[in-house]
Amino acid sequence: MTLRNALQDSLAKNRAEEIGNDVWEHFVIPTFYDKLDLETAKKPRIIIGGRGCGKTMLLRYLSHESAFSQKRQDIPTNVLTHIGLYWRADTQFCNLMTKRSLPDDEWETAFNHFSALTITIELLRSLKSIAVSAFSEFAESDLALFDFKKLQAFDTNLPPTYNDLVDYFESMLWKFVSWVGDVKKKPAPDFLPGRQFVLALISVLKKQCPALNDAIFYVYFDEYENLTLYQKRIINTWLKHSKAPLIFNIAMKRNSFDTKETTGAESLSDIHDYRQHDLEEYLADDFPSFAAEILLLELSMGKLIDQKVDVNLLRNPSGLSERLKPEYREKVKGEAQKIFPDVSQSELARYVITDKSLSEKVKENIGKALKFNRSTLKVEDFYDTNYPEASIVVSALLYRKKNKPDEIKAQLDLLKSGKANNFNGTTAWIHNNIIGCILQLYAPYSRACPFFAGFNTFCKLSRGNIRHFLELCHNSLTKAITIDESFDIPVSPQKQAEAAKQASTAFLGEIKSFGRYGEKLYGFVFRLGSLFDLAHRRLTQSETEQSHFSIRTGDALLTEQDNTFLNEAVKYSVLFVDEDTKKKNAALMEAEEYLLNPIYAPYFHISYRKKRKLELSTNDVICLLRGTMDDFTNLMRRYEKEWRVDNEEQPLTLFSFIEGGN
């Protein structure tokens, strides 16, 4: 196997679906695992998180294929108190079970039947997983001892033996799927009573097998957002009435819990009926060390690095205390940084000054700014290769009305003489402006900016999304493969930056597949990213690194459909919502800021850091959401003039290609 193929088999498989049902070898216990209390909880859990945060991987780990994995050597004796059953909602099939000449109440009965079939098949399969695992108290021979005749009260055709029952239910499911596909021509099957049938099956199992006396079955229902409204009410009912030996749990994207109604008179009640866990909030506390562990595990399993990884420490909850120690966290992050070294601010500046075209651009910018000020000072008075950071930010300072060229030169002279100055003193001209100025310098060129390189940068670009993180690493290592089939490690910042841009472009293209608003979301992101790109190119860099926005009241009001669309953007993690901690304007709507997903930053050549916010009026937001191309072009021209953007290299006509969603 070539190194490229080995890398493809490890890091490229960054979705739970690509790994398979048994994720035991690939799963790293998240450091927040104890907070979830999933293995012993008697109250249902609702798991919330965006794409790629590990919801499905977590549920797969808790399910029987992984808990009783044949790759697992030791299985604790109390494991039967938690038998996980994974069930994922299929959007297309769920939508088929609506209308089409059938009344709602008949579809509700049909969905209950479908639930019974799906869970029963998974439950029966879980018995096989236990029987063939290292668990000593239940063997394959025990499966043949079950007698299911009592269940014939529900269906006289039900076979009494285990193997025949599994085959029978699989045939029933296929017949049901066939009927749903052609309800007008095919006769309806006899429907099972959903939850009641599953409980009856569990009762039969417990009475005949002492090993299952304390067994509790946990259904993990994934992608709740794919259900229709009546289907959500049915699942909510299962959740509300959950108790041992059958407990229901659901996982969903943010903003998907749009109804708490059940099929009865009572609705779901938080705290009383369930506990809610937000994986993205938990991941934010310690994502870098968790990401480093996953990276090192996958590289080690693929034999792509020599370093040994303690897999037992990563796969078992008992290892959490060790992994939470500060010295351990620093160690794993340090190992990841050896592969993907971070790039300091001073190193970024040095890259600019030592690059012929970029250094010439720095001098050109200073010259234009001096001309703007009608100053007789020379470019050489401000450009000094021994002080690259100061030289890079000078042009932005010169364009600001409050700064006079003579005063800036005086501060630069103080810097050179080692005295207190505004460049690296409390005024922090360099710290506040350097990244914005560097991004502005790279903007006219096709090359990727090293600002997007480094392990810690990859973590920030990913913002808790494991899939995004692994793709950034995979792309980088692919570019680091040498002719003699080895890795050029550490991976150079330039290759990392190119990999980040490649991943950003790919993930941007995926937006079109994000639910019913996919095409519109794609167009919205292009517009918003282009506006942020324009903001990054302002000559003064007075509001540097804008990558998030808040909404202030304008002449127009956002409609219910506009707010629904913004909720969809948050659901699919196109946008993140943070509390507005720097609310300057009393007219701002609520206390929310919308942050563009940082993974798109390399594509638009904008900052991934949350530094400055852009206050948009409702009129501007409406234009971004549903304005015509002419409306959007006019918006860009207005801001171009307001921000005094130099568009010599990138004229506004480039925005003519941005029409992703209209």
- Per DSSP, the residues of 489-532 read SSPPHHHHHHHHHHHHHHHHHHGGGSGGGHHHHHHHHHHHHHHH
Mean pLDDT of 77-96: 90
Q: Flag the least confident range among 56-65, 286-295, 344-353, 643-652.
A: 643-652
Q: Out of 388, 409, 442, pick the residue that ends a domain.
A: 442
pLDDT above 60 (res 335): yes
pLDDT above 70 (res 344): yes
**Statement to judge: residues 263 and 351 lie in one domain:** no
**Statement to judge: residues 433 and 542 lie in one domain:** no
pLDDT above 60 (res 588): no
pLDDT of residue 590: 53
pLDDT of residue 43: 86
d(CA 59, CA 84): 8
User: In this structure, is residue 288 part of a structural domain?
Assistant: no
pLDDT of residue 19: 75
Please answer whether residues 398 and 372 qualify as being in contact, where contact means their C-beta atoms are separated by less than 8 angstroms. Answer: yes
pLDDT of residue 315: 87
User: In this structure, is residue 662 part of a structural domain?
Assistant: no
pLDDT above 60 (res 204): yes
Q: Say if residue 493 is preceded by a cis peptide, omega within 30 of 0.
A: no
Closest CA to 296 of 307, 288, 286: 307
Average pLDDT score, the chain: 90
pLDDT above 50 (res 657): no
User: In this structure, is residue 19 part of a structural domain?
Assistant: no
pLDDT of residue 128: 96
Instruction: Between 204 and 103, name the one with better pLDDT.
Output: 204
**Number of neighbours of residue 193 by Cβ within 10 angstroms:** 14
Q: Out of 251, 273, 295, pick the residue that ends a domain.
A: 273
**Statement to judge: residues 542 and 625 lie in one domain:** yes
**Statement to judge: residues 90 and 212 lie in one domain:** yes
Tokens of 370: 């001096």
Q: Say if residue 245 is preceded by a cis peptide, omega within 30 of 0.
A: yes
pLDDT of residue 320: 92
User: In this structure, is residue 474 part of a structural domain?
Assistant: no
Q: Distance from first CA to last CA of the chain, Å, rounded?
A: 45
pLDDT tens sequence across 555-570:
789 999 999 999 999 9
Mean pLDDT of 302-313: 82
Residue 416: domain span: 345-442
Alpha helices in 71-182 (DSSP H): 91-96, 104-131, 140-143, 162-181
User: In this structure, is residue 58 part of a structural domain?
Assistant: yes
User: In this structure, is residue 506 part of a structural domain?
Assistant: no
Q: Flag the least confident range among 268-277, 429-438, 487-496.
A: 268-277
**Statement to judge: residues 628 and 529 lie in one domain:** yes
Mean pLDDT of 366-388: 95
User: In this structure, is residue 464 part of a structural domain?
Assistant: no
Q: Out of 380, 410, 442, pick the residue that ends a domain.
A: 442
In the Cβ-directed half-sphere of 6, how many Cα atoms lie within 13 Å? Answer: 16
User: In this structure, is residue 460 part of a structural domain?
Assistant: no
Beta strands 575-579; 275-278: pairing state: unpaired
d(CA 203, CA 150): 10
pLDDT above 50 (res 25): yes
Amino acid letter, residue 585 = N
pLDDT of residue 14: 60
Alpha helices in 250-355 (DSSP H): 279-301, 311-315, 320-323, 326-339, 345-354
d(CA 562, CA 93): 28
Q: How confident is the model at residue 662 (pLDDT cuts 50, 70, 90)?
A: very low
Tokens of 315: 């796969």
Q: How far is CA 487 from CA 235, 339, 474, 475, in A?
A: 49, 10, 12, 12
Closest CA to 49 of 62, 58, 38: 58
**Statement to judge: residues 74 and 159 lie in one domain:** yes
**Statement to judge: residues 269 and 353 lie in one domain:** no
pLDDT tens sequence across 463-512:
999 999 999 999 999 998 888 777 888 999 999 999 999 999 999 999 99
pLDDT above 80 (res 270): no
Q: Which 8-state DSSP code applies to residue 405?
A: H
The burial of 444, by beta-carbon neighbours within 10 Å (0-12 exposed, 13-18 middle, 19 or more buried), is given as middle
Domains of the chain: total: 3
pLDDT tens sequence across 34-80:
888 876 778 899 999 988 888 999 999 999 999 999 998 888 888 89
**Statement to judge: residues 357 and 219 lie in one domain:** no
